[in-house]
Amino acid sequence: MKKIVLFICLVIFSLSLSGCKPDSYIYDGDYPEVYSVVLNTIPGAEGYMLSECYQDPRIEFIEEDQFGRKMYLYYEGKSISTYSLIIVQYSDAVETCYYLNRNFISSNENNFTESNINSFKAENDWNCEINNDEFTCIPISTLKGPSPLTYEQIKPFYEEIFPGDEHFSDDRWIEYFVSDEYGRIMFTVEARFESKWAIMMFFPDGTYDSENGFLILTDFYTYQNQLKEFEESNNWNEPLE
């Protein structure tokens, strides 16, 4: 019996030491250019799949047009944008480029219709000359950056958006999403017992606009236009006043 207890202790100790931690998770799959685009454009994307270990998300190459644009499937098991098709306009070893706010479509199953795919391709100039002027380019990254704000800074806004949610003391439902060029920050949060996601926007100093600085999503797959309008109404990527 003593041996078993000792063995159990060893098992737990080894688990605590082994290297599969979210803080150290680094994507080592074949498509870092897609991974980088996903982390910067799809709300709620964490960049890994959590079970008994932190596993790479599923990224599958689907198609390439005659000008080198590529379409991929992305899946990491989330309730928001569960399956997404992504179009990367251009990428090299350093950067990856995409059309802002129209670079992905999502579905709850991997069952995108031909007509959805065709209109998605058309929006992304599939089989047309590459248009550098419309690109947004970002550096290729294989890990999600650390949150610029602490949970204590985020929590009051979270409490205002989802009053009565039972996990205000728990930061695991909050995900850092993306920052703009001027330091504004977006976070995503999934309501604990409601079928809702929210996107919260903060100013660089951690303050926020409690009237207009959040967007509640109840449709988790076709929210791209809502997100675009939200960003525009909050002067995303515009100089700070």
Which spans of this chain sit near another protein (rule: CB under 8 A)? 4, 7-8, 11-12, 14-16, 18-22, 49-58, 77-79, 82, 166, 170, 172-173, 190, 193
Q: Is residue 147 within 8 Å of residue 204, measured between CB atoms?
A: no
Q: In this complex, which beta carbon is closest to another protein, that of residue 4 or of residue 94? A: 4
What distance in Å separates the CA atoms of residue 233 and residue 133, rounded to the nearest whole number?
A: 23
In whole angstroms, how close is the CB of 84 to another protein at the nearest point? 15
Contacts of 54 (CB under 8 A, 6+ apart): 20, 21, 22, 25, 48
For the bound state, the minimum distance from the C-beta of residue 183 to another protein, rounded and expressed in Å, comes to 28
Choice between 18 and 113, CB closer to another protein: 18
Q: For another protein, which is the closer residue by CB, 22 or 156?
A: 22
Give the Cα separation of 186 and 4 in Å (integer).
48
Nearest approach, Cβ of 64 to another protein (angstroms)? 22
Q: Which helix (H) or strand (E) holds 216?
A: strand 214-217
Residues forming beta bridges with residue 217, ordered by sequence position: 197
Q: What angle do CA 90, 227, 239 make, to 5 degrees?
A: 80
Q: Which residue has the tokens 């920052």?
A: 179
> Smallest distance from the beta carbon of 3 to another protein, in angstroms?
8
Which residue, 161 or 189, is less far from another protein as judged by CB? 189
CB of 168 to another protein, least distance (A): 13
For the bound state, the minimum distance from the C-beta of residue 2 to another protein, rounded and expressed in Å, comes to 13
In whole angstroms, the minimum distance from the beta carbon of 21 to another protein comes to: 5
State whether the Cα torsion 151-200-109-40 is positive or negative.
Answer: negative
Is the CB of 12 or the CB of 128 nearer to another protein? 12
Rounded Cα–Cα distance for residues 88 and 70 (Å): 5
Kindly tell me which of 55 and 235 has the beta carbon lying closer to another protein.
55
Choose between 22 and 183: whose C-beta lies nearer to another protein. 22
Q: What is d(CA 103, CA 224) in angstroms, rounded to the nearest whole number?
A: 10
The answer to whether the beta carbons of residues 123 and 104 sit under 8 Å apart is: no
